[in-house]
Amino acid sequence: MAIAKAERLMNLALCLLGTRRPLSKRELRGSIEAYMEAGNDESFNRMFERDKDDLRELGLVIETVENLDGDTGYLARRDSNRLPAVSLDAEEAAALGLAAKVWQQARLAGAASGALQKLRAGGMPEAGDPYAGQHSAIEPRIPVHEAAFEPLMLACRDRRPVTFDYRKSNAARPEARQVEPWALECWRGHWYLAGYDRDRGAERVFRLSRITGKVRSKAAKYTAEVPDVVTVRETVASWAGEGGDRSALIRLRAGAGYPLRARATAVREGADGWDELEIPYGHGLDAWLVEFGPDVVVVEPADLRADVVDRLRAVAQG
């Protein structure tokens, strides 16, 4: 079904782009096989209107023209649907080549590679690929292992609400969430979704590794305003435990917890096999500390210690 619709949309786009005069519905129906096979006029009209709206959502500029006889015709002028020439300097081309390399092992690998080839065909300097040689000192990667990544990426792009089951770190069972997805952000090796939680009526951040089952999109409009991308990144950083306005004192087993050591503002080596660290205390720190299990003990503040203990008890009982 998806292939048949894509072929139908492509044929309609080619007809509208290839004509020098507006084409009526009758002419378009006689030119596209899928329309000719429509059972009746009503079915054809519904199919045509949906296809026309889909092409417009994809960015095709379709004009509606009424002739002297009152008939309505459609066309897509080439000058209205032609992108300006792409001109990149060496630094811009290098940045794009680097971005394509980053996605090489993720689900966007095909799209990134295809985009890079098209840019090169359009005149992008070959120097734009900083990894053209066989040997590189740096090999950037953004691994994507979560099955939820691709459907959420498409939902963010298409602005479609989604539903999924989500298990919080202190919960034994997942619960259903209805979310208007804003953006996906990779933070310290983990992927997060920022969006508007309809059930709670507020913005929320979800770690993709805690999404269970399938992500289902819904054909509906957003009810909340989508913030600027910079604000979304700040939100993810806050919920991921970054940007805290307080400090927490923890004891960390010697030789363990290197990510925590990298964030520490102060480290005091202990003689009993435990070190004391001061780290920024922001939202989500308790969930992160739980992941280090018996290698971490929270000294203060008391509310953080209590949250970590509650999460560990929930895990033990779950």
**Residue 129 predicted with pLDDT over 80:** no
Looking at the structure, tell me whether residues 232 and 252 fall in a common domain: no
User: Would you place residue 221 in the very low, low, confident or very high pLDDT band (cuts 50, 70, 90)?
Assistant: confident
pLDDT at 126: 60
Is 52 a domain residue? yes
Is 124 a domain residue? no
User: Would you place residue 157 in the very low, low, confident or very high pLDDT band (cuts 50, 70, 90)?
Assistant: confident
CA-CA distance, 55 to 10, in Å (whole number)?
9
pLDDT in tens, 70-110: 788 999 988 888 766 767 777 777 777 776 666 655 555 56
Is 103 a domain residue? no
**Residue 131 predicted with pLDDT over 60:** no
- Of residues 188 and 134, more confidence is placed in 188
Is 259 a domain residue? yes
Looking at the structure, tell me whether residues 152 and 236 fall in a common domain: yes
pLDDT in tens, 195-218: 999 999 988 889 888 898 899 998
Looking at the structure, tell me whether residues 204 and 262 fall in a common domain: no
Is 159 a domain residue? yes
Is 93 a domain residue? no
Is 126 a domain residue? no
pLDDT at 39: 80
Domain limit, last residue, from 206, 240, 274: 240
- 35-49, 74-88, 139-153, 160-174: which has the highest mean pLDDT? 35-49
Residue 310 CB: number of other CB atoms within 10 A?
13
Looking at the structure, tell me whether residues 232 and 152 fall in a common domain: yes
pLDDT at 83: 66
Indicate the residue type of 234. E
Looking at the structure, tell me whether residues 234 and 270 fall in a common domain: no
pLDDT in tens, 235-260: 776 665 555 567 889 999 998 888 88
Per DSSP, 27 falls in state H
Identify which of 151, 255, 158 has the alpha carbon closest to the alpha carbon of residue 208: 151
Looking at the structure, tell me whether residues 236 and 270 fall in a common domain: no
Choice among 91-100, 127-136, 183-192 with the minimum mean pLDDT: 127-136
Looking at the structure, tell me whether residues 152 and 231 fall in a common domain: yes
Looking at the structure, tell me whether residues 280 and 227 fall in a common domain: no
Identify the CATH number of the domain in which residue 12 sits: 1.10.10
Angle in degrees, CA 115, 118, 119, rounded to 5:
85
Identify the CATH number of the domain in which residue 154 sits: 2.30.30
**Residue 137 predicted with pLDDT over 60:** no
User: Would you place residue 111 in the very low, low, confident or very high pLDDT band (cuts 50, 70, 90)?
Assistant: low
Indicate the residue type of 53. D
Looking at the structure, tell me whether residues 272 and 218 fall in a common domain: no
pLDDT at 134: 44
Domain limit, last residue, from 29, 50, 78: 78
Residues 208-232 have a mean pLDDT of: 84
| Domain span including residue 294 | 247-317
Ramachandran category for residue 213: left, alpha or beta (phi over 0 → left; psi -120 to 50 → alpha): left
Domain count, the chain: 3
Q: Which residues contact 281 (CB under 8 A, 6 or more apart)?
A: 244, 245, 246, 247, 248, 301, 304
Orientation angle between helical segments 41-57 and 2-18, nearest 10 degrees: 80
Is 113 a domain residue? no
pLDDT at 176: 93
Domain limit, last residue, from 223, 240, 257: 240
Kindly report whether the peptide bond that precedes residue 301 is cis, defined as omega within 30 degrees of 0.
yes
pLDDT at 162: 95
Looking at the structure, tell me whether residues 233 and 289 fall in a common domain: no
- Of residues 67 and 130, more confidence is placed in 67
Per DSSP, 265 falls in state S
Looking at the structure, tell me whether residues 254 and 279 fall in a common domain: yes
User: Would you place residue 1 in the very low, low, confident or very high pLDDT band (cuts 50, 70, 90)?
Assistant: very low
Looking at the structure, tell me whether residues 190 and 172 fall in a common domain: yes
* Residue matched to tokens 């509310």: 303
b/e per residue 93-125 (b: at least 16 CB within 10 A): bbebbeebbbbeebebeeebeeebeebbeeebe
pLDDT at 177: 95
Indicate the residue type of 20. R
pLDDT at 142: 59
